[in-house]
Structure 1
Amino acid sequence: MPVNLTPNAIASINGGDMNSKPLVQVMDIKLIGSTQERYRFLISDSVSTQHAMLATQLNDRVKTGQVKKGSVVQLIEYICSTVQNRKIIVVLNMETIILDCEIIGNPKMFTESASTTQRAIPNGNPEHPVQINNFGAPNPSTFNAPKPSTYNAPNPGTFSTPNSTTRTPNTGTFRAANSGTFRAPYPGNNVQSFRPTVQPSYQPPPNYRNHGPILKNEAPARIIPIAALNPYQGRWAIKARVTAKGDLRRYNNARGDGKVFSFDLLDSDGGEIRVTCFNAIVDRFYDVIEVGKVYLISKGSLKPAQKNFNHLKNEWEIFLEATSTVDLCPEEDGSIPTQQFSFRPISEIENAENNSILDVIGIVISVNPSVPILRKNGMETQRRILNLKDRSGRSIELTLWGDFCSKEGQKLQEMVDVGFFPVLAVKAGKVNDFSGKSIGTISSTQLFINPEFPEARDLREWFDRGGKDTASMSISREMLAAGSKNEIRKTVAQIKDEGLGRSEKPDWITVRAFITFIKSDTFCYTACPLMIGDRQCNKKVTQSGNRWECNRCNQEFEECDYRYLLQAQIQDETGLTWVTAFQESGEEIMGCPAKELYVLKYELQDDIKFGDIIRSRVFNQYLFRLKIKEEMYGDEQRVKITVIKADQLNYSSESRYLLDLISKLKR
């Protein structure tokens, strides 16, 4: 069937028309790109052709044969960008109108010089010439000339009028400076002189320097919503508030060492996006970015968001570059909210997918002490577990990691210890489904204690009116200590009776016990203070004259470190056992650094003061976090019990734990 492509569609798009939704024909399709598949089209309006790039989300149209060479398509969404000094049309959305069609017309490659054509008005009146641009509309430079005057030209050659008008011989065509092209009759040497309206020269705005032609990229980019961002835009700017800022992280891969940090943005339309900086860009912007401030950001590149690490509802992520700009907005923009939540009731989290990211709000009903955890990379971090409940009749464990334990976690524990149960809003918590559902913090998580917004006020009113006495069922794993595996309560006798530590993996338990004896002759050792990478060596060193020597590092140094190697006997109502406490847990038990005791005993030889310190630690009651593992000593297997953390007993928290245990036994 006959097909009419949209006239002048290619020229119109190059001229800035992005709304006409033209019909064009696909003349050629070529697959390009080595790392990411991209399709390049050659499209035609029957007169001109132009290269176009297909958005990656439309690749399946080509792969499934929905569009092919010769297809007539309608461009629904598209932009025209300059790539390597030439324009290219980026197709964001399109519809196939005719799948198979013969090539229409004899189109030629579109050029800028051919974008302007000359047309006369239909009646051909020479006294009212008009220039028609390639969009089919009168050119702004077209004008109606007043009644002309005449004069005799000395010869039919080319000449200039006083108004900078030139004539080409025998054509009757005049060209006026700063005006369009017009035609006039040519009656020999008597010609009509038209006085065109001269366009004023362009004056740059005051905020640009007057240094010649204004470069394209000097004008400020137009501010657009975050939701409108796509990687095919040449220039853009967004105005948004920083809602979260990640920690500065260092990494090592095949390309070498590096550093990275990210921050999240929210604009007045509710759009969110993550911004990531690497290496030298980190140095420029890490100290500049502050949570809660509004910034104007431009000249970054957009790449697909890595959903394993990025929970925001945006398929793109901004990567700042050397040319990027981040400018703090001096005035507060009240149209941009400070934070955006999408709270899920705890009862719904029970069906949430593992590793999904969500927001939750609840009342903190219990907080466990912080405990050290050894990561797979050998680094140590802190972990603290608390419990949340809401009006859905369910409760859930929230695991705090790293700095959350000592900042918000410590504040929450202090509140609960005095009998006040705060409201806690969790932004971007990660779901874990190991033995039930729980939530953990990640680098982009934010915690808000007793926040001032409606959901928090409603939850507080419900709890105070009787919600605190409402029974709730935990959707997390049921452990005696309401925590994870290294908070499982055991007695001293159970360590031996249950054969703890004799499996392939160590057992982690919590024991409430007294210290009954501390060995005072071998309470510490001299350690190497040198750093190996980002960790201290800590190997035992020997003294050689006035210097210390480390066999591992093969170096000598004047000062060594002193680290606890404390051996103590602990006892509860069921029995007693020996345990070993190293540096951190040793300081928690003794209340002072190992070097201080070493100086008292071996340098000052103050046995009285040294003895007083040792005796002051005996018969104190602690909550010991123990690691139990069978190890080989010579030819003999022995169970080694190591103190990971020693917290002096908090009677308020312990009483609540016992009451909670009683209530569970009564169910």
Structure 2
Amino acid sequence: MSQGTGMVGGRRVQPIQSLNPYMGATWTIRARVANKSNMRTYKSAKGDGNLFNVEFIDEEGTRIEATLWREVAQKYFENIEEGKVYYISKAGLKPANKAFSSVQNDYQLLISDRTEIEECNDASAEQLQKVKPKLNVTKIGDLPRHLGSRMLLDIIGVVASVSPLGSVKRKVDQSELARRDLTIFDTSGRQVTVTMWQTLASEEGDKLDKMQTEYPIIALQGVRANDYNGVSLSTVSRSTVIINPSTDESSDDFIPEAKELKEWLSQQGGKIEYPHCGAGLANNGRTSLGGAANNTRVTLQDLREKPVPAVGTKPEYVNTWAYVSNIQPDQTLYYMAAPDGSNKKVVAEGDRYYSEGTGKHYDSFIRRYVMRCEVMDHTGNLTFNVFNDQAEVILGCKADEIAESKESKDAAYDVTLKNALLVPYTFRVACKPEEYNNQTRLRFAAQSLKPLNFVEQSTYLIGQIDNLLPKAEAAH
């Protein structure tokens, strides 16, 4: 549990775990720089710049990340050193983008030129040097949700098998990289392959190889999920491996998840083979959860019940057949876009229109649809995002044409929406995870659609009926 605010070195220090964006910038934290990236250069429409990332850890083992940009990056890059302890005040917080963050924290530090970062040289700094990051354990069965995310995960599992030490050649310079694969499982009843690299592969891997008949428990801290063979794990330069972590509650190194796993293992009767957590996700040996072409027809219920992967995972594309059942008339429906075909949003500036996306001014604009509509089939309903080309098919007119009746509150607007209802289409749908109000959910967007072809639909339904009939009857 997080401790309350305390006085350290004459300062009132707040635990990282207790921070939230509603506290303002009145707090101070004391933290060690656990990791600092190199300075990187980026290019964008707003110009070129530099940035670097810093990972901080406090005395409770809670971590938080910060990205420093442009002038702020230049100001602090030489002054912030990995391994040193600092007081940080007058900083802000924002929700972490978990598609790009490597730290398991809901928030990210906002460091500006107002932020004060002062090195801590008192006795408390030495205490912080010994602090280890707090484990935030992910179950192996939940790993598919983290595909596509940069977030580093903590895993505790039983080692079922250890492969011999091998190596691969780095493409860049043809140097040899030591590697070793482990298979581990946990209380979720699922297993996964872990690839350890370099020193972890040769040293900890060698220890595990000699112990594998004992089925040791390992705690993996800071490993990354990837889509090799559906789902697998890989160590990175920051990863650590603890072999047979403490299950003694009186120990400072006690890990409750390790004790739970040890007790569960004792009840399994020696069973060490479990289904792979990526079963059903692999395609030709390598794929991601999303992005794969999927021509299977699914129902809206199938879409509602789909597992939600991590934000940043590539979209999955599926086909479904449904009726348009409702279009809310009071939605925005369209936006003003640049007339040059870039489709970038414009805003009025005097008697002209400016696009931040293109950095240009225009004398005019065109409207483009960005519509939400409800669709239904025999299993229920769902909301789809529908963009310009698909909305033109549904509504039968361009956005500029419907705008006049919508903005003048003409009855013709309601008639247009009503005439679009209860028309069946075959939709090609992109299923993409997004974060909203700190919750990850799937967003469904119609990538394409076409009016229902009744011959194709009849053929499909006949095939479905044949699949339900006993083979002997289906032959007649």
TM-score > 0.5, shorter chain as reference: no
Query: TM-score range, shorter-chain basis?
Result: 0.3 to 0.5
- Give TM-score scaled by structure 1 length: 0.31
Q: Which has the higher helix share?
A: 2
- Give TM-score scaled by structure 2 length: 0.42
Higher relative contact order, structure no. (Cα contacts within 8 Å, ≥ 6 residues apart): 2
